[in-house]
Amino acid sequence: MATKAQIKFTYEDYKSLPYLERQRYELLEGELIPMTPSPGEPHQHQRTVANLGFHLQMFVRHHRLGSVYYAPLDVVLGEPGEEQVVQPDILFISQRRRRIIRDEEIRGAPDLVVEVISASTRERDRVFKRRLYAKYGVKEYWIVDPEAKTIEVLTLGERGYERAGVYTEGEVLRSPLLAGLQIPLDEVF
Protein backbone atom coordinates (compact mmCIF):
# COMPACT_ATOMS: atom_id res chain seq x y z
CA MET A 1 0.00 0.00 0.00
CA ALA A 2 1.43 3.37 -1.03
CA THR A 3 1.66 6.13 1.56
CA LYS A 4 1.40 9.82 0.84
CA ALA A 5 4.62 11.75 1.08
CA GLN A 6 4.63 14.58 3.57
CA ILE A 7 5.53 17.60 1.47
CA LYS A 8 6.11 20.96 3.10
CA PHE A 9 5.66 23.88 0.79
CA THR A 10 8.15 26.72 0.98
CA TYR A 11 7.71 30.42 0.36
CA GLU A 12 9.41 29.90 -3.02
CA ASP A 13 6.73 27.29 -3.89
CA TYR A 14 4.05 29.74 -2.81
CA LYS A 15 5.58 32.55 -4.88
CA SER A 16 5.65 30.25 -7.94
CA LEU A 17 1.84 30.12 -7.93
CA PRO A 18 0.22 32.45 -10.47
CA TYR A 19 -0.55 35.81 -8.86
CA LEU A 20 -4.32 35.27 -8.81
CA GLU A 21 -3.88 31.86 -7.16
CA ARG A 22 -1.63 33.32 -4.42
CA GLN A 23 -4.51 35.59 -3.42
CA ARG A 24 -6.52 32.49 -2.53
CA TYR A 25 -4.05 30.81 -0.16
CA GLU A 26 -2.02 31.35 2.98
CA LEU A 27 1.11 29.30 3.75
CA LEU A 28 0.90 27.95 7.30
CA GLU A 29 3.30 25.34 8.69
CA GLY A 30 4.29 24.24 5.18
CA GLU A 31 0.68 23.75 4.04
CA LEU A 32 -1.20 25.79 1.45
CA ILE A 33 -4.41 26.74 3.23
CA PRO A 34 -7.26 27.92 1.00
CA MET A 35 -8.88 31.18 2.01
CA THR A 36 -12.63 30.72 1.90
CA PRO A 37 -15.23 33.35 1.11
CA SER A 38 -17.23 34.68 4.03
CA PRO A 39 -20.72 33.26 4.44
CA GLY A 40 -23.74 35.31 5.44
CA GLU A 41 -24.80 38.62 3.93
CA PRO A 42 -23.08 38.89 0.53
CA HIS A 43 -20.84 41.84 1.34
CA GLN A 44 -20.81 41.84 5.14
CA HIS A 45 -17.11 40.99 5.33
CA GLN A 46 -16.07 43.66 2.83
CA ARG A 47 -18.30 46.30 4.44
CA THR A 48 -16.86 45.55 7.88
CA VAL A 49 -13.27 45.72 6.57
CA ALA A 50 -14.00 48.96 4.69
CA ASN A 51 -15.68 50.69 7.64
CA LEU A 52 -13.07 49.64 10.19
CA GLY A 53 -10.23 50.35 7.78
CA PHE A 54 -11.60 53.82 7.05
CA HIS A 55 -11.48 54.82 10.73
CA LEU A 56 -8.04 53.29 11.25
CA GLN A 57 -6.67 54.86 8.05
CA MET A 58 -7.96 58.33 8.93
CA PHE A 59 -6.43 58.20 12.43
CA VAL A 60 -3.06 56.88 11.24
CA ARG A 61 -2.87 59.38 8.39
CA HIS A 62 -3.93 62.35 10.55
CA HIS A 63 -1.26 61.57 13.15
CA ARG A 64 1.35 60.45 10.58
CA LEU A 65 1.90 57.20 12.45
CA GLY A 66 2.71 54.86 9.57
CA SER A 67 0.82 52.85 6.95
CA VAL A 68 -2.39 50.83 6.81
CA TYR A 69 -2.70 47.98 4.29
CA TYR A 70 -5.45 45.56 3.25
CA ALA A 71 -5.62 42.00 1.90
CA PRO A 72 -4.55 40.63 -0.42
CA LEU A 73 -1.00 41.42 0.69
CA ASP A 74 1.46 38.75 1.80
CA VAL A 75 2.86 39.08 5.29
CA VAL A 76 5.88 36.78 5.59
CA LEU A 77 6.76 35.67 9.12
CA GLY A 78 9.72 33.47 10.05
CA GLU A 79 13.13 32.57 8.71
CA PRO A 80 13.85 31.45 5.13
CA GLY A 81 12.68 27.88 4.60
CA GLU A 82 10.29 28.11 7.57
CA GLU A 83 8.16 31.03 6.42
CA GLN A 84 4.53 31.43 7.38
CA VAL A 85 2.58 33.56 4.89
CA VAL A 86 -0.67 35.20 5.95
CA GLN A 87 -2.93 37.80 4.40
CA PRO A 88 -4.59 39.70 7.26
CA ASP A 89 -7.70 41.69 6.38
CA ILE A 90 -6.11 44.90 7.70
CA LEU A 91 -2.64 45.63 9.05
CA PHE A 92 -0.78 48.65 10.40
CA ILE A 93 2.96 49.25 10.27
CA SER A 94 4.43 52.11 12.27
CA GLN A 95 6.85 54.64 10.78
CA ARG A 96 9.77 53.29 12.77
CA ARG A 97 9.18 49.76 11.41
CA ARG A 98 8.85 50.73 7.72
CA ARG A 99 11.92 48.63 6.94
CA ILE A 100 9.71 45.52 6.83
CA ILE A 101 7.76 46.90 3.85
CA ARG A 102 9.07 45.42 0.60
CA ASP A 103 7.95 45.81 -2.99
CA GLU A 104 5.98 42.55 -3.09
CA GLU A 105 5.32 41.72 0.57
CA ILE A 106 5.67 42.65 4.21
CA ARG A 107 8.72 40.87 5.70
CA GLY A 108 8.14 40.71 9.43
CA ALA A 109 5.45 41.30 12.02
CA PRO A 110 3.13 44.28 11.55
CA ASP A 111 2.42 46.35 14.67
CA LEU A 112 -1.32 45.62 14.38
CA VAL A 113 -3.21 42.84 12.61
CA VAL A 114 -6.99 42.76 12.13
CA GLU A 115 -8.78 39.55 11.12
CA VAL A 116 -12.50 39.56 10.29
CA ILE A 117 -13.66 36.05 11.11
CA SER A 118 -16.30 33.85 9.53
CA ALA A 119 -17.65 30.42 10.43
CA SER A 120 -14.98 28.78 8.26
CA THR A 121 -12.04 30.77 9.73
CA ARG A 122 -13.20 31.20 13.34
CA GLU A 123 -11.02 28.44 14.84
CA ARG A 124 -7.93 29.30 12.79
CA ASP A 125 -8.18 33.04 13.59
CA ARG A 126 -8.96 32.60 17.29
CA VAL A 127 -6.47 29.82 18.05
CA PHE A 128 -3.78 29.20 15.44
CA LYS A 129 -3.28 32.77 14.20
CA ARG A 130 -3.45 34.09 17.74
CA ARG A 131 -0.44 31.91 18.62
CA LEU A 132 1.29 32.64 15.31
CA TYR A 133 0.98 36.42 15.62
CA ALA A 134 2.14 36.31 19.24
CA LYS A 135 5.11 34.10 18.35
CA TYR A 136 6.33 36.55 15.72
CA GLY A 137 5.71 39.70 17.78
CA VAL A 138 2.54 41.36 16.44
CA LYS A 139 1.93 43.91 19.22
CA GLU A 140 -1.85 44.11 18.89
CA TYR A 141 -4.36 41.72 17.33
CA TRP A 142 -8.03 42.52 16.73
CA ILE A 143 -10.48 39.69 16.13
CA VAL A 144 -13.61 41.06 14.46
CA ASP A 145 -16.83 39.02 14.49
CA PRO A 146 -19.39 40.60 12.13
CA GLU A 147 -22.09 38.12 13.15
CA ALA A 148 -21.79 38.86 16.88
CA LYS A 149 -20.88 42.48 16.07
CA THR A 150 -17.88 42.42 18.40
CA ILE A 151 -14.21 43.32 18.22
CA GLU A 152 -11.80 41.71 20.66
CA VAL A 153 -8.60 43.73 21.18
CA LEU A 154 -5.58 41.70 22.29
CA THR A 155 -2.20 43.09 23.31
CA LEU A 156 1.05 41.16 23.38
CA GLY A 157 2.38 40.41 26.86
CA GLU A 158 5.11 38.18 28.23
CA ARG A 159 2.94 35.05 27.96
CA GLY A 160 1.19 35.80 24.70
CA TYR A 161 -1.91 37.87 24.11
CA GLU A 162 -3.89 39.46 26.90
CA ARG A 163 -7.38 40.79 26.38
CA ALA A 164 -7.45 44.59 26.46
CA GLY A 165 -11.17 44.75 25.73
CA VAL A 166 -14.16 43.35 23.89
CA TYR A 167 -16.30 45.98 22.20
CA THR A 168 -19.78 45.69 20.73
CA GLU A 169 -22.46 47.85 19.13
CA GLY A 170 -23.03 51.09 21.01
CA GLU A 171 -19.47 51.07 22.38
CA VAL A 172 -16.29 52.83 21.30
CA LEU A 173 -13.19 50.76 20.56
CA ARG A 174 -9.94 52.02 22.07
CA SER A 175 -6.49 50.73 21.21
CA PRO A 176 -3.62 50.52 23.71
CA LEU A 177 -1.19 50.60 20.76
CA LEU A 178 -2.74 53.64 19.08
CA ALA A 179 -3.39 56.01 21.98
CA GLY A 180 -6.29 58.34 21.23
CA LEU A 181 -7.89 56.11 18.60
CA GLN A 182 -11.64 55.87 19.13
CA ILE A 183 -13.84 53.89 16.74
CA PRO A 184 -17.63 53.85 17.38
CA LEU A 185 -18.72 50.30 16.58
CA ASP A 186 -22.09 51.56 15.36
CA GLU A 187 -20.10 52.94 12.41
CA VAL A 188 -18.37 49.60 11.75
CA PHE A 189 -21.19 47.04 11.68
pTM above 0.85, yes or no: no
pLDDT at 38 over 50: no
What distance lies between CA 17 and its chain's CA centroid? Answer: 21
What distance lies between CA 34 and its chain's CA centroid? Answer: 15
| Domains of the chain: residue spans and CATH | 36-187 (3.90.1570.10)
Residue 159 CB partners (closer than 8 Å, separation 6+): none
Tens-digit pLDDT profile for residues 91-108 = 999 999 999 999 989 999
pLDDT at 153 over 70: yes
φ and ψ at residue 155, rounded to 5 degrees: -115, 145
The candidate with the shortest Cα–Cα distance to 168, out of 182, 153, 143, 148, is 148
